[in-house]
Chain A
Amino acid sequence: MEIPYTVKPRPDTGLYNGKLGIWLFLASEVMLFGALFSSYVLLRVGAEPGTWSMGLMNITVGAGNTMVLIASSMFVVLAWAELKQGNLAGYKKWKWATIACAVLFLVVKWSYEWPEKFKHYDIWLNDTKVLHGKFEKGYHATASREGKSAEEHVNGFYTKRFFKEESKLSNDNFDKAWTNGTLALQGHINAYEEAQINVEVTGWKADAGVSEADAEKVLAKLNAAGSATALLKDGGTVKEKVGYDEAKRAEYALGQAGFEVALRVEDYEKVPAHPWVWRTKRVNEDIGGKPRVRSIFLGLDHSDDGEGHHEEIEIETRHISRLSAFEPKHSTFFGIYYTITGLHAAHVFGGIIVMLYNMLPIGLALWHKDREQFTNRIETFGLFWHFVDLVWIFLFPILYIL
């Protein structure tokens, strides 16, 4: 029994079975990843303010991996072109290059990118402040209560809680220690401060088409700190230590009234909102040479010898509302990030296995039996591999850049 059209395309459909099958399979894959992308969009749009973490990705690594995958995608099609010319040695050369790229991609992801994420954590405090940090010296943290302490290891993945029971105390004891205990943290610990801005007037243009009386009205409306006439003549501080939004509004109103305005950062105050918003450069900006939002280190002695980075800080656990490393449960963003990239990595892994099979004697036997069928098989695999590349092309901007 011979199945028709395994090698030659069927004339009226123009396809051999394998190619038809793989395209249909890719159609279902489009729907699979399409559903995940749609979920990403729906979740992102529906996320409450501050629950979608942004700007935490390492773009360099992401872009590098994109290049690696693009290269592998090119190599696999070159391998097929060599086979088309009957050159098995050339095929092997390009195929090994493809496999090397694929392995590199996975190694970067599994041994660097993800583990690096698991070392970072966020701690949400009850007063809406968030601590962001990275464990450096081991993953050590302690929770203690009434002299008893539970030293625990951070287990990035799979944690029921932030810390995994080691063996010294039972879970119950740890829970007791946790309740009303303290949490000692080491390593880089960041918090964020937002600028307190002084709004200053440096001059007033009489030719702007606004009368002095109107300008004074504007000042009065802004509850200017100094006297209106003095401000009008000599300039001076209109508002002191106000938040960004208020300063911007004042700047606009004053500008409309013909004033020349300067914003100056007077001080910083801890950001009372979620810091994710501030982590991207996109929403940060310079105000008179100083950043609108800056990160500060907690628990550091500010000496530059490097050791100071590991000074311990203690937080009372009752102030903590939630804590999580950058693992799937950290936020919906990380959840979908690990899900999609994990599924993609599984595709890459499957691809590597198929490629290895096609490089081993057992796979190459087909080449010696029927060259055209083997070429078709490589083409079919290539279609799958390009699709994997295609998915990553969309993943990169969606997960890393936006």
Chain B
Amino acid sequence: MSDKAEATGTQEAVEVHHDEHEEHHAQSFWRTYVFSTDHKVIGMQYGFCGLAFLFFGFCLIATMRWSMAYEGEAVPFVGPLLEALLGNGVAPGGVMSAELYNVFGAMHGTIMVFMGIVPAAFAAFGNYVVPLQIGAVDMAFPRVNMASFWAFFFGCVIMMVSFFIPGGAAQAGWTSYSPLASVIPTDGQTYWLIGMVMLITSSLLGAVNFLATIINMRAPGMTWLRLPFFVWAQFITAFLLLLAFPPLEAAGILQLMDRVLETSFFLPTGLVVGGQDVDVSGGGSPLLWQHLFWFLAHPEVYVLILPGMGIVAEIIANNTRKPIWGYKFLVGSIVVLGFLAFIVWAHHMYMTGMGTVISAFFQTTTLIISIPSVIILTCLFISLWGGSIRFNTPMLFALAFLPMFGIGGLTGLPLGFNFSDVALHDSYYVIAHFHYVVAPGTIFAIFAGVYYWYPKMTGRKMSEYWGKVHFWSSLIFMNLIFMPMFAQGMAGMSRRMSDGGATYSLANPDNADVTVGALSDTIMGLNVSISAAAWAMLVAQLPFIVNLFWSVKHGEKVESDNPWQATTLEWETPTPPPHGNFNKEIKVYRDPYEYSVPGADNDFSPQAQPAK
């Protein structure tokens, strides 16, 4: 609790503080900070792990970018480390082997999606902010919440351990398509599957908890249409996780059976691997894996983006000092989005030969789903209109989210049509598309959220100056990384090649007489510039990391419990909020974003402030 809050605390606050003090004595360090059931501590645990894994996943791709730009040369700085840690076989002399590239590629995707963004965007902010925003004392099931985090942690440990087993971690891409994933002889894939089952279990427990909390723990007066948009986003996200993850769990179990007990669910009849017949019983279906996987993984895309949208909506409302434009449209759109997310999955599978009828069906639903997305984006853009915008760091990130997500979304349309997807499938265009959605989209939203809620968590603001340095450098390098990839993809460069496409370039003497389709020197040259931008991006994160830790002790102290002058309930708590959150009874009288209400005393009217 900050000095300020202590000094100005009411009688109740002092009492709460007293209680908390006693509890603090009753509970050991371990129960308070490690095996805690407090949603805020769990949220910060998730956040810390999530950000750490985001950084680690980024390091993996930064290493891979070396292999793509300068194939066959020893990786500077980390090359010896790779050789020492992972063995001479996979990184001889510090040079990345193709196997290691595959390992890093698969794990980059897995770590970023399941161990980075989901915990950071959904679990961390969800845990920390949602109970505060709905005026609850904690989550509905605090112990389940703790179990959820430790299941997640255990899953992450399994994933990390798999790097160091013989043969390395999973190599079959984050999508783990069978039969490739089923027949790879190294054990990495098995670890991956077990780790995934743990992560899925964690997400399920978390989702149940979120839904129960939002449905049953809302403060008096907090009706459904008074929920802040962020809570709505988390609510829909939790539903997506709850209903979309189990099919992947089923698929994971089936693939585990394929690998461990030698069944052949996903192995077709007559499969030949390395010139040898594989002992399969016949009747397996590789497509089944893809259906089950994408039944999760498409909703997963919305799991990644919806919390980001929620965070951005909060920050935009707060920093434009006016209500979100079209709150009901936003809520309606996000509900429809969640609903439609379940029936678009096979647009990832146009190229599998699953049939034209089914492609046509999923093409239609895919284009329909772009409508609610566009409504959300439009509402957020219109919200800016006529606002007196405060350009602080969280707002800058939130503002950058809008065009970046827009680019990501619009470039998805050619992929949604199956006729243009035929050309673009599995090319760098796809990579650029979804990275525009999640990297400058969701990750910027995560940064925005960190800068925005940091004062609530610690009682101090993060440095604005370094925040802006972080923002502008990230924005520039992010675009320098991903924008050229559109060009590469349209030139025909394929994904998942450790040499960055050199085999298919004009520079390769084998392609001397190829007139059409070989990659030109310009396109190949972009590999180097992209890689350079990626490494610069890595450096650009250092201000954020230093800022994050430095500001805990040395940041500017906040003057009140509500430094951003926001309306939502999380700012009604003491700073930082004690166990049990509120030191007064919370009743909700207003809609979530009552900024600049005519006739009001301030330009913001908190939800808990009674109407005159």
Using a CB–CB cutoff of 8 Å, the interface residues on chain A facing chain B are: 1-5, 10, 13, 15-17, 20-21, 24-25, 27-29, 31-36, 39, 42-43, 46-48, 51-52, 157-158, 160, 322, 324, 327-332, 334-336, 338-339, 343
Contacts and interface: CB of A to CB of B under 8 A. Distances in A.
B204 A28 contact: yes
B281 A335 contact: yes
Given A35-B250, A39-B250, A25 B283 contact: no
A47 B282 CA distance: 7
B558 interface: no
A20 B208 CA distance: 9
Contact of A42 (B262, B263, B285): B285
A14 B265 CA distance: 43
A225 B207 CA distance: 75
B40 to A, nearest CB: 12
A36 B261 contact: no
What are the 6 tightest A-B residue pairs by CB atom distance, in nearest-first order? A335-B263, A47-B283, A1-B580, A32-B246, A35-B247, A35-B250
Listed residue (B137, B138, B245, B261) with the most chain A CB atoms within 10 angstroms of its CB: B261
Chain B, interface size: which category? 35 or more
A4 B292 contact: no
A1 B281 contact: no
Contacts, number: 148
17 contacts: A3-B140, A15-B216, A17-B141, A17-B216, A21-B209, A28-B204, A28-B207, A29-B246, A32-B250, A33-B250, A34-B247, A39-B292, A46-B288, A331-B281, A332-B282, A336-B254, A343-B253
A24 B242 contact: yes
B129 interface: no
Interface of B: 137-138, 140-142, 144, 204, 207-209, 211-212, 215-217, 242-247, 249-251, 253-254, 257, 261-265, 269, 279, 281-285, 288, 291-292, 295, 579-580
Contacts of A51: 269, 281-283
A25 B204 contact: yes
Nearest to A20: B212
Given A1-B138, A21-B141, A43-B265, A339 B281 contact: no
A296 B584 CA distance: 83
A28 B217 contact: no
A189 B295 CA distance: 44
Contacts of A25: 204, 208
A250 B251 CA distance: 49
Given A328-B257, A329-B264, A20 B269 contact: no
Among B246, B257, B291, the one with the most A-chain Cβ atoms within 10 Å of its Cβ is: B246
B204 A21 contact: no
B144 A39 contact: no
B283 A21 contact: no
A339 B254 contact: yes
A332 B207 contact: no
Contacts of B264: 329, 332, 335
A33 to B, nearest CB: 8
B485 to A, nearest CB: 34
A339 B264 CA distance: 12
B575 to A, nearest CB: 18
A159 to B, nearest CB: 8
B261 A158 contact: yes
A48 B280 CA distance: 13
Contacts of B579: 1
- A20, A52, A330, most chain B CB atoms within 10 A: A20
Contacts of B292: 35, 39
A17 B212 contact: yes
Contacts of A28: 204, 207-208, 242-243, 245-246
Contact of B283 (A16, A17, A48): A48
Given A48-B282, A328-B262, 9 more contacts: A3-B138, A15-B216, A28-B242, A33-B250, A34-B246, A39-B292, A328-B261, A331-B283, A343-B253
Contacts of B295: 35
